[in-house]
Amino acid sequence: MKDYEIVYQKPDAMTDIPFPYCPGCSHGIIHRLVAEVMDELDIATQAIGITSAGCSVRNWRQFDIDMVMSLHGRGPAVATGLKRARPEAVVFTCQGDGDMAAIGTGEVIHAAARCERITVIYVNNGVFGATGGQQAPTTLIGQATPSYPHGREPGVSGYPLKMAELLAMVAPDSYISRTSIHTVKHILRTKKAIREAFWVQIQDQGFGLVEVLAACPTNWRLDSAACMEKIESEIIPHFPLQTFSSPKKEA
Amino acid sequence: MAYRVNQIATGFEKFLMRGNQAVGEGAIRAGCRYFFGYPITPQNELFEYMAKRLPQVGGTFLQSESELAGINMVFGAAAGGGRCMTSSSGPGFTLMGEGLTALATAQLPAVIVCVSRSGPGLGRIASSQADYRLATRGGGHGDYQCLVFGPGSAQELYELTFEAFELADAYRNPVIILSDAILGQMMEPVTIDTFPEKNAPEKEWAVKGKGDDPRKVIKVAPHTDDELITWNRDLKAKYQGMKAREQRFESLYTDGASTVVVAFGSTARIVLDALMRVREDGAPVGLFRPISLWPFPETALQELLEQGVENLVVVEANNGQMIEDVRLAAAGEAKVSHYGVGGGHIFSPDEVYREILQHVS
């Protein structure tokens, strides 16, 4: 006789390897959502993930699918070549804001402009996490980092880059959205957005990107709960949660 | 445009082509179906040839936003198992350094063509051989090697490009074709169809979605220090095998010569003209033309020294780059001297003739 039934478990598209991330890091939540979406869309057997440099460099160990490691910022270019050679595969990159919004700005803009049939999961936690919390292009005005200990000043180190808005300008027919993971409600919305970003690729409609606002407790010097509060009160006002573009629906 | 000259035998056709086009046709015949590139003079005819030819054979041509993106697109297509290529000239080839080291580390096959112009910096578009060091010594970081070929004619560009794809797959390693503005722009007859057309072989290591198989990972970084040590040891063994098996050269008139000119690529063509005049003057001078630049054909050069060659004159269109390899190969057993001008100077047969004369009198 069965006493229990399984109602919730690790997605099939994940390996059994524990996450290597710091306590409170959002990467694990986002990886799990990507894996859940792969399971639900039944695409794990044809999916190829592309890693970036930074905290997500080791995520080839987390997804139980074919994976390719790419160099810092070049994920969308590698994904482009791979998708062109393997159009039947579902190709996605996981990139942080240091990777995609700094060194890889050119690659992602042009991949979006070409409507490459790829999906980009863009984790925006406002800092270079792996190297010690230096200023990222997304760091908020006034936020102190080891690069600028007295805080970011636009006249010295620039304004925060709003990548989702910027990419929506060059790819009006693609799916580009910004979400967050600071509450359960937002986690569920993020999953829906990730699903949509894969769906536009599967339907051959265009480029798909989800910018996920994420926490880096280690480098923000905050506990997890305070990080979630910071996302709500400080980050979302600057980085609004919105779908900025989506493929035109057939009439 | 390439012009058909005549059909010289069944299945063999002769075309009048630029060297850049010969590279393109060699790639197409070798089953290259993916080209990612960025415009730069003097390689544009190759870029444009691929833009025209690839759609005819069901391939993909993509103009990348930079050479950085281009080499990384090559990385992606190679990871997926396609035969792929990119091309550039010095300034763009420099940007490909990070991609080259990544391709070599991940052991991905690809062909990279550098049609050299004159540097340093942005330089000018006139031909030079100043990218010898960049091509043979890397351009990217870490212990890695690419096979490097320095063809000397449009025919050889065609044949070596074709073969480069085979070697890239055989060794799972990037292969560089080091051409230059003279070879790339010059029109010469090329006999096509010297090889049967190929398709890319099935590559069991390529990623295509795991299907029912265990998953595959193409890596540019190991997970542990031990893995990295093993990785480098395996790469070293592979490079030693390449070094043992892939040395290529041409020796002309070296029998009985005590002085031999060492030159590669377009310079060897000019040198041969000058050298024939020196020989007509009665001086027995030979020509040693490295065709593989890495591995440098050191074994053959050492055999020349054992046969009595005492004087090696390195002529190259740069300030002295290949001479380092010649010195290493000669290991002090011959006098090695250099004649070269950097910065886009194109040798005249007369000046090379006068230079060689100085070494034989």
Predicted model pTM: 0.96
- Three-state DSSP state, B202: coil
CATH superfamily of A27-245: Thiamin diphosphate (ThDP)-binding fold, Pyr/PP domains (3.40.50.970)
Q: Does B76 touch chain A (CB under 8 A)?
A: yes
Chain A residues contacting B via beta carbons under 8 Å: 44-48, 50, 57-58, 60-61, 64-71, 74, 77-86, 88-90, 106-107, 109-110
pLDDT digits (tens, 9 = 90+) for B224-254: 999 999 999 999 999 999 999 999 999 999 9
Q: What is the pLDDT of residues A180-189, one digit of tens each?
A: 999 999 999 9
pLDDT in the model for residue A92:
98
CA distance, residue A70 to nearest chain B CA (Å) = 7
Pairwise CB contact (< 8 Å): A81 & B80? yes
Q: Do A84 and B216 touch (CB under 8 A)?
A: no
In this prediction, residue B332 carries a pLDDT of 96
Q: What ipTM was estimated for this complex?
A: 0.96
CB of A81 closer than 8 Å to CB of A121: no
Mutate to test the interface with B, among A46, A59, A71 (most CBs of B within 10 A): A71
Count of beta carbons in the 10 Å neighbourhood of residue B224: 8
**Residue A128 DSSP class:** E
The chain A residue lying nearest B108, using CA atoms, is A68
Which residue of chain B is at minimal alpha-carbon distance from A69? B219
* Amino acid A1: pLDDT: 63
Cα-Cα-Cα-Cα dihedral sign, residues A238, A198, B105, B34? negative
- With CB atoms and an 8 Å threshold, state whether A66 touches B208: yes
Using CB atoms, pick whichever of A81, A83, A107 lies closest to residue B74: A81
Q: How confident is the model at residue B10, as a pLDDT?
A: 55
Contact B80 A61 (CB under 8 A): no
For residue B124, the model assigns a pLDDT of 93
Q: How far apart are CA A241 and CA A180, in angstroms?
A: 7
- Among B32, B50, B54, B68, most A C-beta atoms within 10 A, so best to mutate, is B68
pLDDT of B4: 63
pLDDT in tens, B72-128: 999 999 999 999 999 999 999 999 999 999 999 999 999 999 999 998 999 999 999
| Amino acid found at A215 | A
| Regions of chain B with pLDDT less than 50 | none
The pLDDT assigned to A15 comes to 97
Q: Mind listing the domains of chain B with CATH numbers?
A: 3-210+235-244 (3.40.50.970), 253-360 (3.40.50.920)
Answer for the pair B274, B308: CB distance below 8 angstroms, yes or no.
no
Q: How many residues does chain A have?
A: 251
Q: Please, which residues bridge with residue A208 across strands? A: A119, A175
Instruction: Report, as an integer, the average pLDDT of A198-220.
Output: 97
pLDDT computed for residue B9 by the predictor: 52
| pLDDT for A250 | 58
Closest by Cα among B175, B168, B6 to B82:
B168
Question: Which residue in A65, A80, A86 is closest to B215 by CB distance?
Answer: A65
Distance in Å, alpha carbon of A141 to nearest chain B alpha carbon: 31
Q: How far is A186 from chain B (nearest CA, A)?
A: 30
CA separation for the pair B329, B300 (Å, rounded): 9
The two tokens of residue B329 are: 């190969």
Query: A12, A62, A80, A114: best mutation site toward chain B, by most B Cβ within 10 Å?
Result: A80
Q: What are phi and psi of B177, to 5 degrees?
A: -105, 115
Using DSSP's 3-state secondary structure scheme, residue A75 falls into helix
Give residue B192's pLDDT: 87
Q: What is the pLDDT of residue B319?
A: 96
A83 contacts in chain B (CB < 8 Å) = 76
- DSSP helix/strand/coil, B331: coil
Mutate to test the interface with A, among B210, B213, B216, B223 (most CBs of A within 10 A): B210
**Chains A & B: contacts with CB separation below 8 Å:** 136
Residue A38 predicted with pLDDT over 70: yes
Cβ–Cβ below 8 Å for A74 and B66: no
- CA A238, CA B255: separation in Å to the nearest integer? 78
B76, B81, B211 ranked by CB distance to A78: nearest: B76
Among B113, B119, B147, B142, residue whose Cα is nearest residue B131: B119
Give the tens place of pLDDT for each residue, A86-124: 999 999 999 999 999 999 999 999 999 999 999 999 999
B220 and A85 in contact by Cβ < 8 A?
Answer: no
Give pLDDT, residue B264: 98
Alpha-carbon gap, residue B174 to B91, rounded angstroms: 19
